[in-house]
Amino acid sequence: MWWSDRTVVGVTVGFILIAIINFFVPDWIRQIGLLSMAIGSVALGLLVLWRSGLISFG
């Protein structure tokens, strides 16, 4: 197979599944999921800034 990295396929399938499941879960589960994704994206952004040397502590 010429394309062995299936990251794009996995992310696309995961996004579609989350979009479909979103209509069937209660609001409190949706809120917890959105909050955890928001905190995770902030942590990932800080990690990128830290690893690239654009953030200093102290």
CA 52 to chain centre: 20
Catalogue the E-assigned strands of the chain.
none
Query: What average pLDDT does range 1-30 have in this prediction?
Result: 89
> pLDDT tens-digit profile of 29-50?
999 999 999 999 999 999 999 9
Check pLDDT > 90 for residue 5.
no
Q: Is 2 part of any domain? A: no
Burial readout 15-46 (b: 16 or more C-beta within 10 A, e: otherwise): eeeeeeeeeeeeeeeeeeeeeeeeeeeeeeee
Q: Is 57 part of any domain? A: no
Q: Is 35 part of any domain? A: yes
Q: Is 56 part of any domain? A: no
Query: What average pLDDT does range 6-19 have in this prediction?
Result: 93
Domains in the chain, number: 1
Q: Is 58 part of any domain? A: no
Q: Is 1 part of any domain? A: no
* pLDDT on residue 1: 53
Q: Is 37 part of any domain? A: yes
**By residue range, what is the domain housing residue 35?**
7-51
| Residue percentage of the chain with pLDDT more than 90 | 74
Q: How confident is the model at residue 6 (pLDDT cuts 50, 70, 90)?
A: confident
In order of 20, 28, 31, 37, 44, the CA distances from 25 in angstroms are 10, 8, 10, 16, 26
